Amino acid sequence: MYAALDEAIAPILPAQMCVPGVNGAWSVKDTVAHLTFWHRNLLARFHSIGANQPPSDTAIDDDTWNRRCFDANRHRAPDDIMADLWRTQQSILDAIDARPEVIFFAAGKHGVPLVDATDGSILGHYPEHIAQIERWRDQHVTPPTMKPDLLYRIADSYAALAATIGASPPRELTLPDLHGGWSIKDEVAHVTFWEERLLPIMRAAIAGEEPPYRSGVGSAEKIEAMNAEVFAVSRQRDLDDVLADMDRTHAALVRAVAELPENALFDARRFPWMDGEPLMAAIAGDTYGHYPEHTRNIQRWRAVRSMREVAQ
C-alpha cells in the first residue's frame, strides 16, 4: 500500500500538490495529511496495547475528525506533510516488527485484533485515496504541449530536487544509508548520468542528424546494469565534482531544450529514430519524470533519520 501510494503521487509536480479537487476541496497534500492522521491513530492504539491499557475511545465521529485534520494541515508545506507521512509509516512498521505476532491476530482483552485496526488505517483505507489521486492525476497531470510548459515543469521539479540536496548537511551527502547502500551523492550522480546521456540526442536533433544511440535502452535489465555501473563509478568520485557536474549538465540540457523549436519537441513524426514518439517524451523521462523519485528518496531518508535521531 505504501508503494502504491508513492506510485500514484510520483508524476505530480510540486506546484500541483496543493490544487484542490482530489476529494471535494481536498488536494493531494490534504489527502496525505488525512492518511497520516490515521497513522497516528493506529500508533496510539499500538501504544495503548503495549502499555496494557484499553484503547482510548471518543464520541467524535470520523467526519468531524477528518474536518479537524483538514483545517489543521491546510497551511502546512507539502514537504512537511510528506515527511510526516514517511515518519509515521516507518513508525508503524517498527511497531509491528517489535510486537509478537499473536497480538495482531488474537482479540485479547482489549477488543478486536490489531490486524483489524491496521486494515482500517492502511490496507482497507489506502485504496480509496489512491484511486482518488489517480483519477485527479489522470485529469490534471497531462503531457505538456508547448515549450514554456515543458521548461516550467523541468524547472519546478529540478528546483525541488536541488532544494532537497541543498537542505542536507555536507556530512550527510556521502552516507551510504539510502536504498541499496546509495548515498545522496550517488543519487545526484545517477540523475546526472541520465541527463548527460540525453544531451547527444538533443544535439543531434538540433543539428538535424541521426543520434549516436536511441533514447530508449531496451530492457529493465540493461537499465539496471547501467545504473549499477554509474553507482560503482560515483562511489569513487569527489563530492564537489559530482555536484558541479550536476549543475553543468542540467544547464546544458535546459539550453538544448530552449534551442529546439516546438515542432521538434512535440511532433511525433519529426524524428524517425524516436519510433513514433515526440522528443518531448524522452526529455520528460529523464527530467521532470525522473527527478521526483530521487527527491523523495532523499526526503524520505532524511525524515526517517531525523525521527530515529530524536528517539535516541
Out of 3.90.550.10, 1.20.120.450, 3.40.50.10240, 1.10.260.40, the CATH code matching 147-311 is 1.20.120.450
| Three cell numbers, residue 135 | 483519477
pLDDT confidence band for 203 (50 / 70 / 90): very high
Q: What is the pLDDT of residue 164?
A: 94
* Coil, strand or helix at 259: helix
Backbone angles phi, psi at 242, to 5 degrees: -65, -45
CATH superfamily for domain 2-140: dinb family like domain (1.20.120.450)
Q: At what angle do helices 184-207 and 291-311 cross, to 10 degrees?
A: 170
Of 57-66, 200-209, 229-238, the one with minimum mean pLDDT is 57-66
Amino acid at 229: E
Instruction: Please indicate whether residue 14 or residue 21 has the higher confidence score (pLDDT).
Output: 21
- Using alpha carbons, select from 281, 271, 114, 296 the residue that is nearest to residue 191: 296
- 114-161 per-position pLDDT tens digit: 788 888 889 999 999 999 999 999 998 889 999 999 999 999 999 999
How many CB atoms lie under 10 A from the CB of residue 161?
A: 25
Looking at residue 233, the DSSP 8-state letter turns out to be H
- 243-252 per-position pLDDT tens digit: 999 999 999 9
In DSSP terms, 26 is beta-bridged to 23
Q: Can 2-140 and 147-311 be said to share one CATH topology?
A: yes
Q: How far is the C-alpha of 103 from the C-alpha of 80, rounded, in Å?
A: 32
pLDDT confidence band for 112 (50 / 70 / 90): low
Q: What is the pLDDT of residue 70?
A: 84
Amino acid at 207: A
pTM: 0.85
In DSSP terms, 218 is beta-bridged to none
Q: Decide: 129 and 35 in contact? Cβ < 8 Å.
A: yes
- Using alpha carbons, select from 83, 68, 71, 85 the residue that is nearest to residue 126: 85
- Using CA atoms, how far residue 164 sits from 72, 103, 167, 239, in Å, is 25, 39, 5, 16
- Using alpha carbons, select from 120, 156, 151, 158 the residue that is nearest to residue 38: 120
Domain boundaries, the chain: 2-140, 147-311
Has residue 58 got a pLDDT over 70?
no
